[in-house]
Amino acid sequence: MKVAPSLLSADFLNLEQELISIQKAGADFLHLDIMDGHFVPNLTFGPVIIEKIAKASLLPLDIHLMVKNTLFFVDLFAPYKPRFISFHAEEEQHIHRMIQYVKSKGIGASIALNPHTPLECLDYILQDLDMVLIMSVNPGFGGQSFIPQSLEKIKRLKEKISKQNPQCLIQVDGGVNAENIDLLKTAGVDIVVAGSYIFGSKSYSQAIQSLKI
Ligand code: DX5
Ligand code: ZN
């Protein structure tokens, strides 16, 4: 299992040290939650901060867009060469075109699905995706509880992926911790995002290792 700590729960007055700590603790990616105050009722950070982070972090960047205007934000963050950009299916009108656009910039293309969004919206595009991000909480805030129905959804997604695009990764975001990691692994998850569980722990290293099963 790969682990992507979500910076949302980090100590923002101590960001450089936080980045060093999760790197040393064995994180695989750095998950960056971009919120615009429209798609979700919250705001996070923009290019000024991302530019600094991209310079300071050795970890590949995993950008999760929770925004209304996907294209604007893809263009804004593409220069920082993230490993993945996830954008929400609920918001983008031309998903197939956007996937190709993200990939044309050398970035892994990923679709994020809200808890209520059916997997059927991946029909006809799953073949083109590098990753699918299953939201296991409602997007907008860290520290929420894992929605149990997500597990069934992940298992069904794994079946679809095995048939249609075995290279495509499954990422799960929201309420991930040591209590549900075994179930997520069994369901077929490749990358877990964890914010409050990792940054709220005494030892980042122990927390990350407990997810790397
Ligand atoms: C929620 C974000 C998540 C969040 C996860 O909208 O997409 O990445 O930071 O936080 P935890 O792990 O605390 O649920
Ligand atoms: Zn996220």
What are the pLDDT tens digits along the chain (213 aa)? 999 999 999 999 999 999 999 999 999 999 999 999 999 999 999 999 999 999 999 999 999 999 999 999 999 999 999 999 999 999 999 999 999 999 999 999 999 999 999 999 999 999 999 999 999 999 999 999 999 999 999 999 999 999 999 999 999 999 999 999 999 999 999 999 999 999 999 999 999 999 999
CA of 179 to the centre of ligand 1 (A): 16
Q: Which two structure tokens, joined as six digits, stand for 101?
A: 């656009």
CA of 174 to the centre of ligand 1 (A): 5
* Catalytic sites, residue numbers: 33, 173
With a 6 A CB cut-off, is 115 part of the ligand 1 pocket? Answer: no
Structural contact between residues 66 and 37, judged by C-beta atoms closer than 8 angstroms: no
Specify the ligand 1 atom closest to the Cα of 8. 9
CA of 212 to the centre of ligand 2 (A): 18
With a 6 A CB cut-off, is 6 part of the ligand 1 pocket? Answer: yes
* pLDDT digits 0-9 by tens, 108-131: 999 999 999 999 999 999 999 999
DSSP 3-state of 30 = strand
Strand partners, 34: 65
d(C-alpha 97, C-alpha 176), whole Å? 31
With a 6 A CB cut-off, is 139 part of the ligand 1 pocket? Answer: yes
Domain regions of the chain by residue span: 2-211
Structural contact between residues 132 and 122, judged by C-beta atoms closer than 8 angstroms: yes
Burial class (CB in 10 A: 0-12, 13-18, 19+), 162: exposed
pLDDT at res. 159: 98
pLDDT at res. 191: 99
With a 6 A CB cut-off, is 194 part of the ligand 1 pocket? Answer: yes
**Residues around ligand 2, an ion, CB closer than 5 A:** 33, 64, 173
Supply the residue whose CA is at minimum distance from atom 4 of ligand 1.
142
Q: Around 37, how many Cα atoms within 13 Å sit in the side-chain half-sphere?
A: 4
2-211, what's its fold?
TIM Barrel (3.20.20)
Which ligand number lies closest to the CA of residue 192? 1
Structural contact between residues 108 and 77, judged by C-beta atoms closer than 8 angstroms: no
Q: Going by C-beta distance under 8 Å and a sequence separation of 6 or more, which residues neighbour residue 163?
A: none
